[in-house]
Chains A and B, each alone.
Chain A
Amino acid sequence: MKTLVLFLSLIVLPICHGAPLKLITEELPPYAYREGGKITGASVDIIKALFKQANISYQIKMFPWKRAYETAKSESACIFPIQRSQEREVLFNWISPVLITQTAFYANDSGDHQVRTLTDALKLKIGTYRGSAVEEYLTGQGFKVTSVSKDSVNANKLSFERIDLWAADTLSAPYFIKKANITNIKEALVYFTTLRALACNPAVPATTISKLQDALQAIYNSGEVDKILAKYKQ
């Protein structure tokens, strides 16, 4: 019976209410993660507020990064929170910024590496998250990095000094550090700021894009985005 209801709802929803826009995200705590079977997180909360403001129906799916990215490129769907870059510009229509995030180098308390600028880190062993914008940025600048498939692993690697620095998002890193009860890691240098967006396949109607962009401006102006982010910075 449950299957039948689900089957019916999938068919009926588009007819009765207009097809909800498919939104795809990846596991990226604290921006997007599963908790008690629900998809939640800072960027998920902003997206919910955005679609409520625009009065557009939607459904959120969580896939691994590669599948998420490929799906958004090939279907009438949107992906978030994705870094807007020159290479990606042509592939999507953009509602930006959903988030303004920062990336930092984290160091072990006992390390004596002086990192005042980006090039100070050039010769050090840097851990990053495979396929991430952090990895893309550093390799693009000529850095050699050691990447892993789960960013949380880097917290432990740094704690045990198996890497000199960990390049990570300034909200994600403290989240992982706290979760793993690690106490010997410090922030060394916040070196980059990123605009993260909701990127929609060109098949998503232009009117929807325009409505969402206006709604984004509205939730920034009303202070709603600040309120959501404050919750996750605590």
Chain B
Amino acid sequence: MPIKLLLFTLFLFHCLNLYGGPAEAKSWINKEFKDSTLSKDQQVKEMDWFIKAAKPYQDITIRVVSERIDTHWYEANVLTKAFTDITGIKVVHEITGEDDVVKKIKTQMDLGYNIYDMYINDSDLIGTHYRSGKVVALDDFMKGEGKDVTLPTLDIKDFIGTSFTTGPDGKLYQLPDQQFANLYWYRQDWFSRPSLKKKFKQIYGYQLDVPVNWSAYEDIAEFFSVHVKEIDGVKVYGHMDYGKMDPSLGWRFSDAWLSMAGAGDKGIPNGLPVDEWGIRVKDCHPVGASVSRGGALNSPAAVYSLRKFSEWLDKYAPPDARAMNFSEAGAWPGKGQIAQQIFWYTAFTAALTDPKLAVTESDGTPKWRMAPSPRGPYWQDGMKLGYQDAGSWTMLSSTPLKRRKAAWLYAQFVVSKTVSLKKMMVGLTPIRESDINSQKMSEVAHQYGGLIEFYRSPARKAWTPTGTNVPDYPALSDLWWKNAALAANKKMSAKQAMDKMAKEMDERLQKVADIGQARCQPKLNTPKAESFWLSQPGSPKAKLANEKPQGKTQSYQDSLKAWK
């Protein structure tokens, strides 16, 4: 009898450890997923579904990959364990640079080799995925061959980023896993000092506050770098950016720089027919990027934006900024020498609330705030205003079906309502409306310098990723850093660099067309005189007589109201 009991216990132990089960689910819910918009009973029920759905896939070890941010680090090192304990399916979640993720997904698409079972890939590739014919439309999968592994409580409508991951055919191609925006960042404590406010008003004639336009941003940059110079014995700068010839320089431009200046057309999530890459589409076919073909990549607004980028870097940023890349420049706001930054990724929120930093109070409350980005003189109401990164689950048709199904279970687990609120608290990269509006987020909002307020406001819809006009992101994106660097390092004027880039972008679009795509491939317009396109309504827009209108600022409170 004792032997039988021992064997039974061993059997149970074996089952529980190897094949997962309700006890593991309860244990993880109690210790890790206490914060959830679901009740504990609902969580248990959701996990029961995973346990049952996972049974046919317990012999598989799946492999997925994502970029290197806190959210994905948490998934790779904590949520993989929870998933394996609960379902019995083993997962290796690799972490690497976004550039590497893009190269790997491109390799799998080109060679048809199964490198990963799913990718967390930025939704900037939506135009690529839709046209390639090599990415599984999740709408089709969930209704068809993946129906039995699709979580009944997934609640797609609760996701805030699905407009970014939907193709022109209305189908969902990717499922958002994490999102962060690029916003304006500034030292609210310095902006509130009466002596600095008084001095700014004397020089510029208006209030030192959150800049509404680029003119005010430029004035504030000059104010701190040229007039204030030093605060409490420390050298300060009115602007921070980076200019090293490196792939990360391209993100700055392809993500948002031209859209903030106002180079594209109106339209949310992306300008139509001309988007913020300056690519014009007609009936879903890209027809050109240069002004002569109806695009806006070398339009006056685009040239203006690159000129300002280079000028501000020169005049107002720390002397070494020109030689820095994204990572090197990223550490600067925390040092306590930067007054404002036009372009700051909210993924760094958690890192900038470290109480040891010069930009936080001893309890971790930030001395800084994030606010809507200022817009350039070409910007008009109805246009996107900034960038939002939406790292999203992407499934390739070259992955065997059984592996796809197992990976889809993991993908849904890490975005499930059981898990998502805790994940948001760790990485501050929200994906669900229910989490953003939760009681828990109301309790902690004051710690995050305006992040929660931003995500609760409809303004978040004006911060969007690269859209569907870009037909092959991996084949085109290097042009941004290779050409922007020429102007940033004074090897060419902004006009020369954008002319060169527009010409090369058209050539690449033609190459993409020559290779062929499954649908909506480029069909370039015949070039016409630039004056023809510049005199048409919308983008490309003719040069403004005055590119520096009166600077305008508003209080932080008013900037928040503007989001409502």
Contact = CB atoms under 8 A, between A and B. Distances in A.
Interface stretch (A37-45, A53-61, A163-171, A188-196): A188-196
A31 B361 CA distance: 54
B94 A220 contact: no
A195 B246 contact: no
Interface stretch (B4-12, B103-111, B215-223): B103-111
B95 A190 contact: no
A116 B84 contact: yes
A86 B100 contact: yes
B96 interface: yes
Contacts of B245: 90
Contacts of A100: 107, 113, 115
Interface in A70-124: 84-87, 89-90, 96-97, 100, 116-120
Contacts of B290: none
B77 A118 contact: yes
Contacts of B65: 193
Given A117-B76, A119-B77, A189-B92, A195 B248 contact: no
Contacts of A116: 80-81, 84
Central interface residue in B84, B95, B97, B103, by most chain A CB within 10 Å: B103
A220 B96 contact: no
A217 interface: yes
A96 B107 CA distance: 8
Contacts of B189: none
A183 interface: no
Contacts of A89: 99, 246-247, 478
Interface string B458-479: 0000000000000000000010
B116 interface: yes
A96 B103 contact: yes
Contact of A193 (B76, B81, B110, B116): B116
Contacts of B478: 89
A195 B111 contact: no
B76 A97 contact: no
A117 B77 contact: yes
A26 B100 CA distance: 23
A216 to B, nearest CB: 9
Contacts of A87: 246
A39 B32 CA distance: 54
Nearest to A137: B96
B63 interface: yes
A86 B96 CA distance: 11
Given A85-B100, A90-B246, 13 more contacts: A86-B97, A89-B246, A89-B247, A90-B245, A117-B93, A118-B76, A120-B77, A191-B92, A192-B94, A193-B65, A193-B104, A195-B100, A217-B111
10 closest cross-chain pairs (CB), A and B: A119-B77, A117-B77, A86-B99, A220-B111, A86-B97, A86-B247, A89-B247, A90-B245, A192-B94, A97-B107
